[in-house]
């Protein structure tokens, strides 16, 4: 299960402006309500939250979340799996 120790805070993933855009899109929807698949979010947070932001019409934030959140509950962020990008690279 995902816990606070393995999930980075939103402020470490998105900038203040990006958070404001996301909150505005959720708080004042201009399209049908889009929900997060909770089971998928627990198993694959990067995919679930990336898909959610994409469905909200925020494709740039969707890609950022897919890259920076862990791919699986036990895994590391997609950005950490790029060859030559980890410690000692």
Q: pTM for the whole thing?
A: 0.58
Q: Answer whether 51's CB lies under 8 Å from 73's CB.
A: no
Q: What is the pLDDT of residue 85?
A: 46
Q: What is the pLDDT of residue 28?
A: 80
Q: What is the pLDDT of residue 80?
A: 53
Q: What are the residues facing 70 on neighbouring strands?
A: 77
Helix (H, G, I), strand (E, B) or coil at 8: coil
- Residue-wise pLDDT for 25-82, tens only, equals 888 877 777 788 888 888 999 999 899 889 888 999 999 999 988 888 775 555 554 4
Per domain, the residue ranges of the chain are: 10-80
């Amino acid at each position: 299960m995902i816990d606070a120790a393995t999930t980075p805070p939103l402020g470490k993933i998105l900038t203040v402006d990006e958070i404001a855009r996301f909150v505005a899109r959720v708080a004042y929807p201009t399209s049908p309500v889009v929900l997060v698949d909770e089971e998928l979010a627990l198993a694959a947070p990067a995919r679930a939250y990336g898909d959610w932001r994409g469905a909200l019409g925020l494709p740039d934030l969707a890609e950022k979340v897919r890259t920076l959140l862990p791919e699986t509950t036990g895994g590391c962020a997609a950005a950490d799996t790029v060859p030559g990008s980890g410690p000692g690279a």
